[in-house]
Amino acid sequence: MRSKEPLLFDCGAGTLLRLEQAGFSPLEIDAAVLSHLHLDHVSDLLALSKARWLMGECEIKIFGPEGTEDWFSKCQGIYPYLEELDASFHEILPGDEFSAKGFKITAAEAVHSVTALGYRVEMGSKSAVYSGDTEPVSTIADISEGADLLIHECSFPEPFVVTNHTTPRKLGETIHDVDRVVLTHLYPDTIGHEEEMVQDLKAGLGASARVEIGKDLQRIKV
């Protein structure tokens, strides 16, 4: 699954640095898809927009849940010199389908402490799903069915009991028919428990399931 141009999902702290390390210029990132508006998922979006502006490009397309335009406009309003930024907004509802950078994208409701979405991204016969922040829920499981790749948050190891986030056993009880699962959004509580988390998820999916812990700057071919 490959587009000629990159498409960014979420833009938390450190995104600008990681983009540079991955070999991308801010000028190449003219579209971003947001799962929700918590700081760790959006804090570098204004910085990315400013970097593009400083390099002579004012436009950026932003897809996100309801409230995205109001949030961005308020942040932009703090800095009057950024009034020249030309951001266009596409607020997405669960079940919406839209296109960006040649990808077909379907949104599904996530369960978090704020309005949140997960996304299925398709091109040709290939598909990947990005959960954003969520509890393990059927809406995300449904759009993940048959996917080549599921990137799913797993913030806590067992035996934590949590809401708004995911633990591996609960995830294993919820998802099905996914070729490969990459776990992300690991909280400090997971340090030293990564292999246990992989095995706990495999207990629900089956021993042959492909499960791994995601890493910064990791490249995955779908």
**Extents of the domains making up the chain:** 1-92, 94-217
- Residue 78 makes CB contacts below 8 A (sequence gap 6+) with none
Q: What CATH number was assigned to the domain covering residues 94-217?
A: 3.60.15.10
Distance CA 101, CA 111 (A): 27
Tokens (6 digits) for 153? 């948050």
Residues 82-101 have pLDDT tens digits of 999 999 999 999 999 999 99
Whether this model's pTM surpasses 0.95:
yes
Distance CA 147, CA 120 (A): 8
pLDDT at 207 (0 to 100): 84
Residues 119-176 have pLDDT tens digits of 999 999 999 999 999 999 999 999 999 999 999 999 999 999 999 999 999 999 999 9
1-92: CATH topology: Metallo-beta-lactamase; Chain A (3.60.15)
pLDDT at 1 (0 to 100): 64
Are the C-beta atoms of 3 and 126 separated by less than 8 Å? no
Hey, do 1-92 and 94-217 end up sharing a CATH topology, with the first three levels equal?
yes
Residues 38-84 have pLDDT tens digits of 999 999 999 999 999 999 999 999 999 999 999 999 999 999 999 99
